[in-house]
Amino acid sequence: MQYKFPDNFWWGAATSGPQSEGRFHKVHKSVFDHWYDIEPEAFFDRVGPNVASNFYNDYVQDIAFMKEVGLNSVRTSIQWTRLMKDFEAGTVEPEAAEFYRKVIEEFLRQGIRPVINLHHFDLPVELYEKYGGWESKEVVELFVIFAQKCFELFGGQVKDWITFNEPMVVAEGEYLYQFHYPNVVDGKKACQVIYNLNLASAKVIEAFHRSSCAKQGGRIGIVLNLTPAYPRSQDEADIKAAAFAEDFKNNAFLYPAVKGVFPQSLTDVLKEDGVLWDSTPEELAIIKENTVDFLGINYYHPFRAKARENAFDESRGWLPEKHFEEYEMPGARMNPYRGWEIYPQAIYDIAIEVRDKCGNIPWYVAENGMGVEGEEKFRNRDGYIEDDYRIDFLKEHLACLHKAIAEGSNCFGFHMWTPIDCWSWKNAYKNRYGFIAVDLSNQQKTIKKSGYWMKEVSQNNGF
């Protein structure tokens, strides 16, 4: 079967500043820089963010590689910790501003649309130490100052902006499940962080729409990681459990971003449990009045929920699992390297949900991909990695997305994670995702089979 996609479809990939640039010439530390400095053993093979994939020094060559594999759009981020000299005063580091200006110009010179994200888990550690990070509404205001400076510096060249990448991961990783620094377990704080991130996004959107960026045809959105929650059965208790998981994991950011309100079903439960965030009518009005122009959705795997069968352990305080348990579906296809279920159907379900429950807002797949450990064993005599498993994975997901577009879902693009193998938080380079491989011993980069395949897809606008 032939799959043809809409005209001007985005064929691209996503990365981020902290995962690609390296720490060269950075004045401030992010929470991950700091964590690596104090506990390098927490990171896979003790590999930290110091060099990453050396994009800071190799960006001209790297962008040429991206062009060579047919990407017409790429998302990356501006690091808060690199750009700003003084967070409170809103002054910038001239060298950093020049670096990002050159990167953006290089994307444009090579015919690639830059999509610029403002936050990719890179909270300045001094703002955590001074204010408590995203627990604090003071940090919300400082983030707006940073965003305004980005719009002022780069708004003439960049048309597509993102407030946050995967904000739910900030709450889950830092305040619930201990996979991001500061590794706290505090459900009440997690809920406040969820609220504050929503407020920060809305305030940045408000600032954007008042800026010259919007007048010049720019638009701003958010990128959310959605893990559709499927009930174990049609039993009422399982359905109720999955509904709360859906509300907490997905709708806590999706509804404010698109509808301007939090799900009442979620706030009712959080209020009853005594963990509802502190808010004001003025803040809620800002969230209501400043929704996104478009939506980015990262999809990797589904979430399967069941009613609790065991008593909830309250020794660590409130957790969302008070209202559900994760269900491991027998016979599920799994990516053994990442431990995630492979379920392409969910990308169709997400697309129809956006069509029917989110006003059919313009949206794109902002990340999708398959992480594999030990890819070097698939390198052939010609020197490139034959990652047919990645091509098959993408074909399946794109076929499901194509079906949803044919049925009216307003999707305008597909980005894979990631263009070039990049550093990934605690996992470093354990699982590789890129169209382009990186040899960490010498930073040599080579195109994988999937990269050559993607070039054909982009040229043909389908497969």
Predicted local distance difference test score (pLDDT) of residue 438 = 95
Predicted local distance difference test score (pLDDT) of residue 215 = 85
Residues 24, 77: Cα–Cα separation, whole Å:
16
Per residue in 120-135, pLDDT tens?
999 999 999 999 999 9
Q: Domain 10-460 is in which class?
A: alpha beta
Q: What is the DSSP letter of 309?
A: -
pLDDT at 430 over 90: yes
Beta strands in 255-362 (DSSP E): 294-298, 303-306, 325-326, 334-335, 340-341
Mean pLDDT of 272-291: 98
pTM: 0.98
Per residue in 27-77, pLDDT tens?
999 999 999 999 999 999 999 999 999 999 999 999 999 999 999 999 999
Structure tokens at 425: 């938080």
- Banded model confidence at residue 157, pLDDT cuts 50, 70, 90: very high
Per residue in 194-205, pLDDT tens?
999 999 999 999
- Is 166 tagged catalytic? yes
Predicted local distance difference test score (pLDDT) of residue 421 = 97
Long-range contacts of 129-138 (CB under 8 A, 24+ apart): 133/31, 133/174, 133/182, 133/193, 134/170, 134/171, 134/174, 134/193, 134/196, 134/197, 134/200, 135/189, 135/192, 135/193, 135/196, 136/196, 137/196, 137/199
- Banded model confidence at residue 9, pLDDT cuts 50, 70, 90: very high
pLDDT at 366 over 90: yes
Q: Is residue 6 classed as helix, strand or coil in its secondary structure?
A: coil
Mean pLDDT of 79-83: 98
Per residue in 221-265, pLDDT tens?
999 999 999 999 999 999 999 999 999 999 999 999 999 999 999
Selecting among 135, 166, 283, 353, the annotated active-site residue is 166
Domain boundaries in the chain? 10-460
Averaged confidence pLDDT in the chain = 97
Counting residues of the chain whose pLDDT is more than 90, the rounded percentage is 98
Q: Is residue 253 classed as helix, strand or coil in its secondary structure?
A: helix
